[in-house]
Amino acid sequence: MSAGTKTRLNKIPQKLGIIAGGGDIPRQLIDACLENDIQPVVVGLQNFANNIDVDLWARIGAGEKIIDFLKHEDVKDIVLIGAIKKPHLLNLWPDLKTFLFFMRVWIGSFGDSKILDAARVEAEKYGFTIRGVHEFLPNLLMDEGFLSNNQNIETYLKDIEIGIIEAKQWGGEDFGQSVIVKNGKIIGREGDRGTSALIKSAGEEGAILVKMCKPQQDRNLDLPTIGVNTVKECAIKKMAGIAVEANETLVVDKLAVKSYADEHGLFVYGITANA
């Protein structure tokens, strides 16, 4: 979104609480708020958020501190955005409110989607509305079709179809969003360590990374995301390309993604999944 260009938003909040992890999207979201006359109230997660001005620094385990601060600032709408490494409960050093939340959730399920669903319920209990970053930055969503100049995917369509089916099934079991496929076979599935670790461990020449939104995934909390680092890692492995779910995947810095993909001959393709 260019500077000075306002995005049309439904139910524009006067304030938006931004709980920020790492990466560039939190800064883009802050800029979008300012362009749309929305006051950003930024909570930076220590050891994760970077290159942004914050109103409060907090540990990832300091749920009570964050909630009390946002309520004091009269924030009703919040966005949770930015990269974080999933913490082990013992490393959270959680306050009582955070500890009780994880105990309630983890007794029932260890799946990421279950935890995020519970996080939404918990947030709503305190009067907050969870908003998706794509509401404020719709330009981040992957369009249907090619982001790359390389559009030679005819020989890979069957692999992409297989990858979509497997990624949806794998995600439906709450394991991960991505798979790697080559010559009609799944050669890697994303685990707890994420897409980058999958590419490093299973990526190989001519293979395809397929990344899909989990069927049960909360679109306002955890959309699949790729960026230039994803393309770089695929290029190192001499992979053929990346297929992601159109309108359900965030692409950080599309120009940089396209440029690097074109430079290294990879395709980046947005596809509507029917699986």
Q: What is the distance between the alpha carbons of residues 225 and 222, in angstroms, rounded to a whole number?
A: 9
Comparing C-alpha atoms, which of 56, 49, 3 is closest to residue 26? 49
- Dihedral pair phi/psi, residue 19, rounded to 5°: -95, 105
Per-residue pLDDT band for 211 (boundaries 50, 70, 90) equals very high
Cα 84 to chain centroid distance, Å, stands at 10
Full-prediction pTM beyond 0.85? no
pLDDT band at 123 (very low <50, low <70, confident <90, very high): confident
Asked if 222 and 25 touch (Cβ cutoff 8 Å), the reply is no
Q: What is the pLDDT of residue 84?
A: 76
Confidence of residue 118 (pLDDT cuts 50, 70, 90): low
Average pLDDT of span 114-127 = 74
